Amino acid sequence: MKDIKPVLFIDEGKCRNSYSCVRVCPVNAIEVRPQKPHPAILPERCIGCGLCFVSCSPRAIGFRDSKEEVKSLLSSGRKTAALVEPSIASEFDDITDYRKFVAMIRSLGFDYVHEDSFGVDLIAARYADLFSESGGKYYITANCPSIVKLIEKFHPELVPNLAPLVSPMIATAMVVKELYGPDIATVQIGPCIDAKDESLIYKSGRLVEGVLTFIELRQLFDEFKIQERLVRMSEFDPPYGYWGALYPLPAGIIQAGGIKRDMVSSSVITASGKEDILEAINDFDKYIDTIHHHFNLFFCHGCLLGPGMEHHRERFRRRSLVRRYTEKRVGKLDKELWQKNMDKWLKLDFSRTFTPDDQRIPEPPQEAINEVLKIIGKENPDEEVNCGACGYMSCRDFATTVAKGLAVPEMCHTFNLRNKQGYIETLRQTNRKLAETKKALKDSEELARREKEVAQHASDMMNNMLEKLPSGVVIVDNNLKILHSNQSFINIIGEDAKAISEVIPGLAGADIKTMIPFNVYNMFTFVLKEDEPVVSKDVQFEEKMLNISIFPIKKNKICGAIIRDLYSPEVQGEEVTSRVSEVIDKNLEMVQKIGFLLGEGASETEQMLNSIIESYKKKSNLQNNRK
């Protein structure tokens, strides 16, 4: 089978995060997580009861739409049969005669229209036999698909107690297939949303090929402009049902089976509605050896208030509508023909099996539950108000669900109220601090702007002064990559350096190893490794004699060098030596000025300049001593 969409889902575009769906879900199949903007239905945990659909006022929750699927069947050329639940009496009270309703369904294109009440009679008879032959084993009826899912997923230990019988919908479909042949397409029409999933269980969805809710049926009537006043009366196709027409009432199938219902001699307890159902299953699980009854369970208050109906109120008025409809149907029934049909079709095999699908989440550790209780302000048992506004029976149940990761603390009313009051006070304080911070930020921005301007100015002056030094200056990193060099260095190194500087200004990033002799390269390596300077070394380089001093600037990471060409006219002779000293003194004065401008927060380049000062002082003293 192709992938099937979940039977219920949330349209995030319509969701307003009211959490009403979370509150009504009986099995915590709707999770709320902090990282997600909206709740999400977990298909593997969902039992299809439809309570979330009914409770969602923004209509953000929808169910799997089958209208297009059914329209395709009707236009396929195959014979089609509609299987209609007797709860039409409580839903379509605006249609004056059920025979007009049957005619309207035929107008959609259905070849046959059968009422499920005969299928109810068949299954009711099977229940009567099962209960009478139970031999001390007690059963839970399996007519309601949501009840079946509830037990398979959340009470798998009770799966053996599910009555091994198909629902009236499936029984009716089996009879119709026998009547008209296996190729006929059958479409269920009723108030149950989860019947859409139930139909998929049998013959890969080929036994019942489509399921329309009463809501969808009304939409098709509107789409094809089918109205009661435009059709003639038409009767259901036989075989007709008997007391099975009472099926919309919770105990209807029990009466249809002729099973005793009085409080003393009856062996069956009937329960319906979320609260009674959850309590009934709990009691069956724990106390069946004391109760000694079979349980007839319907998740809704009977099929007269199913989620697939247009309205979900006025339960007792709807009961009276079903009762009157049943009286009308039974009053004109041919009882002998009905019995003959029952004898004929009871020979079919209506048995089925069930599969446990345990979706229970292990209980979280008590420490985690206590932590949640602390967060929502219910750390002490006296603070557990158990108001039920969150949708859970108690504060502890809610905290357990939060600890399981299926809910968030914000669903707690008192938690939100306390947080709201705290938020207002925090907001008031925050606004006051914000005004103070705003002023401080403005002052800080102005100070930072001025400091940036001063730093930029000092940096520009430093770079300009470095460029005016007659000696070559170069700074390298521990990979011997040039960080900075002045024009004098480029001129001393020669044409290769000049060519590279045209592409890379200041030779930044160039590898100094490719520009200097191996012995000079070793000096740089020594200084970086040993963190010791190399002072005033004369090195032959091409046709030049270079005087090189190398100093560490940042230990093992950055060093700088001062290089002079001793063959340059300025360096030759005693007279030139004097001029060099004068130049050095001036350079020292310039460097000191740079240090003054930079202040105490000097950069790594300042450290290099200090090294230059020391170098020149030593060189000057050496020359004076020689004189």
Summarize pLDDT for 287-321 with one digit per residue, the tens: 999 999 999 999 999 899 999 999 888 899 999 99
What is the average pLDDT value for the chain, to the nearest integer? 86
CB 208 within 8 A of CB 187: yes
Sorted by sequence, the CB contacts under 8 Å of residue 9 that are 6+ apart come out as 41, 61, 62, 63, 64
3-state SS class at 270: strand
Select from 89, 58, 20, 30 the least CA-distant residue to 329.
Answer: 89
* Domains located in the chain, CATH noted: 1-64 (3.30.70.20), 65-345 (no CATH), 361-457 (no CATH), 469-626 (3.30.450.20)
Q: For residue 425, report the phi and psi dihedrals to the nearest 5 degrees.
A: -65, -40
CB 190 within 8 A of CB 303: yes
> Is the confidence at residue 53, as pLDDT, over 50?
yes
Alpha helices in 346-412 (DSSP H): 366-375, 395-403
Structure-block tokens of residue 117: 């009440």
Question: Residue 182: exposed, middle, or buried by beta-carbon count in 10 A (0-12, 13-18, 19+)?
Answer: exposed
Per-residue confidence band for 435, with pLDDT thresholds at 50, 70 and 90? confident
pLDDT (0 to 100) of residue 626? 54
Question: Tell me: the pLDDT tens digits for 508-560?
Answer: 888 888 888 888 888 999 999 999 999 888 888 877 888 899 999 888 899 99
Mean pLDDT for the stretch of residues 172-191:
97
Which amino acid makes up residue 588? Answer: L
Structure-block tokens of residue 104: 């309207």
CB 425 within 8 A of CB 399: no
Residue burial 406-441, b: 16+ Cβ < 10 Å; e: rest:
bbbbbbbebbeeebeeeeeeeeeeeeeeeeeeeeee
> Is the confidence at residue 424, as pLDDT, over 60?
no
CB 246 within 8 A of CB 298: no
Mean pLDDT for the stretch of residues 332-343:
96
